[in-house]
A and B are shown apart, each in its own frame.
Chain A
Amino acid sequence: MQIAARRADKTTIFDVTGDIDLANSPEIRKALLREIRETRTPKVVMNLTQVRYIDSSGVASLVEGLKASRDAGSRFILFGLSPAAREVLQLSRLLKIFEVYENEEQALGT
């Protein structure tokens, strides 16, 4: 798994590549919480286009990011969900809780 950040104006986009599972979800959590709590970026966007699989620990990291963004009064957005990633958010009844878009253009246009 690789995670890279693109920063522009008041937005940070995290481009994630590879599966998110127990081996690397702490890295996702750390990057998200640093961006939201310490850098205090108003809009944090997760590009999941290249993520084929997310496990429950990955979902937990995303939930932590969502809760931190709510506490900070910022926005936390996901886009490019694979079928497996979408299924896992549906199974956990979280798909409607997150702000989810099909692509980057839609995610940044809001």
Chain B
Amino acid sequence: MSGDLLLRLELRSNPNLLSVVRGAMERLTEVFGFSPPECRSVTRAVDEALTNIIRHCYRGKFDQPIDVACNRVQRRVSGLRREGLEILLSDRGPAVDPAKLRGRRLDEIKPGGLGLHFIRQSMDTVEFKRMRGINQLRLVKYMAPRKQD
């Protein structure tokens, strides 16, 4: 954990649970204070990340473990304090090829490959790491800056 824990979800890789997580993320982002478009962005990013885990890491198996941890984090830029929501998504699937985490170009009309693009468009930070057999995706969305108290 890298901040104050707000919410932790342990779920199985069942696509029917995606709507449950979206519901939780919609409420959490609202309570956190994000604007409605930001709430939709963060919820979309988490949903797409989970979809990628189910499709690509677990290859459609419905009974594999996924952990979602949501933390409050802070950073300071030029004396301004910025509060953010960090979401850590962990799975025990095979190692992910970092080259496949770039997403595709959008100048071609074709189905597929949009999830990563949505994640990168929605979040301020998107980081991936593999440690001790676990894939971890770190997503952070910061709130608009406010003056230091």
Contact with B along A43-56 (1 / 0, CB 8 A): 00000000001011
**Chain B contacts of A97 at CB under 8 A?**
109
Judge whether B109 and A67 touch: CB under 8 Å.
yes
Residues of chain B contacted by A94 (CB below 8 angstroms): 109
Say yes or no: is B126 at the interface (Cβ < 8 Å to chain A).
no
Interface residue? B72 (CB, 8 A): no
Whether the pair B18, A92 counts as a contact (CB closer than 8 A) is no
Alpha-carbon distance between A22 and B40 when the two chains are bound, in angstroms: 17
Given A83-B40, A91-B121: A60 touches B114 (CB 8 Å cut-off): yes
Number of A-B contacts (CB under 8 A): 69
Cross-chain contact B18 with A21 (CB below 8 angstroms): yes
Give the shortest distance, in Å, between B112 (CB) and chain A (any CB). Answer: 5
The smallest C-beta distance from B81 to any residue of chain A, in angstroms, reads: 29
Say how far B109's CB is from chain A's closest CB, in angstroms. 6
Q: Mark interface residues in B20-58 (1 if CB within 8 Å of A CB, else 0).
A: 001000000000000011001000100110010011000
B50 and chain A: residue at smallest CB distance: A22
| Total B residues in contact with A, Cβ cutoff 8 Å | 25
Contact of A22 among B36, B37, B54, B107 (CB under 8 A): B54
Task: Give every chain B residue within 8 A of A60 (Cβ-Cβ).
Answer: 111-112, 114
Given the complex, which residues of A lie within 8 Å of B1, measured CB to CB?
A: none
B68 to chain A, nearest CB (A): 16
The tally of residues in A whose CB lies under 8 Å from a CB in B reads 24
Partner of B44, one of A57, A66, A84, A93: A84
Q: A55-B51, A56-B48, A87-B37 are in contact. Are A19 and B22 (CB under 8 A)?
A: yes
The minimal Cβ–Cβ distance linking A101 to chain B, given in whole angstroms, is: 20
Assembled-state Cα–Cα distance A61/B51 (Å): 15
Write the residues of chain A forming the contact surface with B, with a CB cutoff of 8 angstroms. Answer: 19, 21-23, 53, 55-57, 59-61, 63-64, 66-67, 83-84, 87-88, 91-94, 97
27 contacts between A and B (CB under 8 A): A21-B47, A21-B51, A22-B18, A22-B51, A22-B54, A22-B55, A23-B16, A23-B19, A53-B22, A55-B44, A55-B47, A55-B48, A56-B112, A59-B114, A60-B111, A66-B109, A67-B110, A67-B111, A83-B37, A84-B40, A84-B44, A87-B37, A88-B44, A91-B117, A91-B121, A92-B114, A97-B109
Residues in B lying within 8 Å of A, measured CB to CB: 15-16, 18-19, 22, 36-37, 40, 44, 47-48, 51, 54-55, 106-107, 109-112, 114-115, 117-118, 121
